[in-house]
Structure 1
Amino acid sequence: MYKPLSELTGGNVHTQFTEKVIRSPLPVVVEFFKNNSGTSFLVDSILAEFVEPLQEKAVFYKVNIDKHQLFNELYHLNDLPSVLLFRKGSIRGYLAGPFSRTKFISNIINNLDE
Structure 2
Amino acid sequence: MEKFEDLIKSPVPVLVDFFAEWCGPCKAMKPVLEELKLVVGDKARIVKIDVDQHEELATKYRIQAVPTFIVFKNGEAVWRHSGVIHSSELQGVIEKHYT
Unmatched tracts of structure 1, length 5 or more: 1-11
2:53, 2:63 → 1: CA distance? 14
The within-5 A match list for 1:1-114 is 16-21=3-8, 23-106=9-92, 108-113=93-98
TM-score calculated relative to the size of structure 2: 0.84
SS of residue matched to 2:42: coil
| Alignment partners' CA distance in 1, 2:11 and 2:91 | 21
Distance 1:87 1:103, change over 3 A: same
Distance verdict in 2 for CA 1:56–1:105, change over 3 Å: closer
The question of whether the paired residues in 1 share the 8 Å contact of 2:51 and 2:57 is answered with: yes
Give the match's secondary structure for 1:41.
helix
Deviation at 1:35, TM superposition (A): 1.6
Q: What is the RMSD computed on CA atoms of the aligned residues? A: 2.0
Structure 1 segments of 4 or more deviating over 4 A?
none
Q: CA deviation at 1:31?
A: 0.2
TM-score under structure 1 length normalisation: 0.74
- More relative contact order in 1 or in 2 (CA 8 Å, sep 6+)? 2
Q: How many residues align?
A: 99
Identity rate, percent:
22
Per-residue CA deviation, residues 57-103 of structure 1 (Å, 9 max, x unaligned), is 11111000001111121111111110110000001111102233344
Residues 66, 98 of structure 1: alpha-carbon distance in 2 compared, 3 angstrom cutoff: same
| Residue in structure 2 matched with residue 4 of structure 1 by the alignment | none
Asked if the contact 2:12–2:98 (Cα under 8 Å) also holds between the matched residues in 1, the reply is: no
Q: Which amino acid aligns with 2:43?
A: K
- The offset of 1:110, in angstroms, is 4.4
Larger % of helix: which? 2
